[in-house]
Structure 1
Amino acid sequence: MTTATQTRSVIVERDIPQPPAKIWKALTQSHLISEWLMDNDFDLKVGHKFKLRGEWGGVLDCEVISIDPERSLSYAWDHHNDDPLYALKSVVTYTLTPTDTGTHLRVEQSGFRPEQKQAYGGAHAGWKQFLEQLETVSARGG
């Protein structure tokens, strides 16, 4: 049975030729997050509330949900918008898996409602760009 409350996830995966420790650093240090994702006031503490500020002028209210150092990081991501097609409460989870050549990074952003096709497509394209930038930042070593 299909209901209007069902949501779907954007999943983007990338193999990065850096060890998990370097990827983790880029995922969890505020100044590095600003370089590949958005300006922020992130702190690596469960329950920490922070904001991501997009170049487009939007602000996302976030909260750290779970931390498994160098393996997994999750936070709630709340994009307020007067248009329900763009308002989004979601969870972003980064999963790092060591490989022979570096790290397999999987990003999942869950919570897209069926009518949010444009936001879903935009997130899919956006995460691909963000991960490309994250790879550059992690290669530099921060």
Structure 2
Amino acid sequence: MTTTQPRASIDLDARSVTRTVRVAAGPDAVWRAISEPEHVAGWFGDGCETDDGGPLTAGTRGRLHFEGYGWFAFEVTRIEPGRLLAYRWGQSADEPERMTEAEFTLQPDRDGTYLTVHETGFSGDTEDDVRTAIDGNRQGWDIELDELVAYVEARAW
């Protein structure tokens, strides 16, 4: 199992968060973990539902649940199966109109996969609000992507 991963970085000027992790599993396993709702719920929050009950495809709408925070709406904006998945989602359960876009990119690496998440589009009424939102998601990606690595590496896909 991968034990040390770099932390997420923020770019305040671009209003973005980026993190890359290496998963000791092939791209197919990582792809399933980020694109199949039952697997998404295993590492990203504790619930993932799509409106049609199916996998994530372009235009899919659904919601993600995070204990203590509630449900967050999402819509898949771009997909290249096995390589790229992007979706817009609410920054806050209380303000679903404030959306960011999270883009997941997979890159095979010998017996593993590099997964990069790049989230953009943070907004707020003040610069402090924006900074708080970006920092909160930076911390979130540190936790959630560590959970993804553990989730994928613990399974025989």
Native 8 Å contact 1:63 1:76 kept in 2: yes
Query: Which consecutive residues of structure 1, in runs of 5 or more, have no partner in the other structure?
Result: 1-5
For 1:74 and 1:122, the matched residues in 2 are separated by 20
Q: How does 1:62-101 map to 2 (within 5 A)?
A: 62-78=74-90, 79-81=92-94, 88-101=98-111
Moved more, 24-33 or 37-46: 37-46
**Deviation of 1:134 (Å):** 0.7
2:52 paired with 1:40: no
3-state DSSP of counterpart to 1:134? helix
3-state DSSP of counterpart to 2:94? coil
Identity %: 27
For 2:69 and 2:136, the matched residues in 1 are separated by 16
Q: How does 1:18-37 map to 2 (within 5 A)?
A: 18-37=25-44
2:115 paired with 1:102: no
Q: Give the paired residue count.
A: 134
TM-score, normalised relative to structure 1: 0.85
For 2:86 and 2:114, the matched residues in 1 are separated by 16
Q: 2:138 matched to which residue of 1? A: 124
Query: Which consecutive residues of structure 2, in runs of 5 or more, have no partner in the other structure?
Result: 1-12
Runs of 4+ in 1 over 6 A off after TM superposition: none
2:22 paired with 1:10: no
For 1:60 and 1:141, the matched residues in 2 are separated by 30
For 2:111 and 2:87, the matched residues in 1 are separated by 27
Native 8 Å contact 1:25 1:138 kept in 2: no
**Deviation of 1:80 (Å):** 4.3
Q: 2:151 matched to which residue of 1? A: 137
For 1:128 and 1:87, the matched residues in 2 are separated by 25
CA RMSD after TM alignment: 2.0
* 1:54-74: CA deviation from partner (whole Å, max 9, x where unpaired): 111322110011111110000
TM-score, normalised relative to structure 2: 0.77
Native 8 Å contact 1:20 1:103 kept in 2: yes
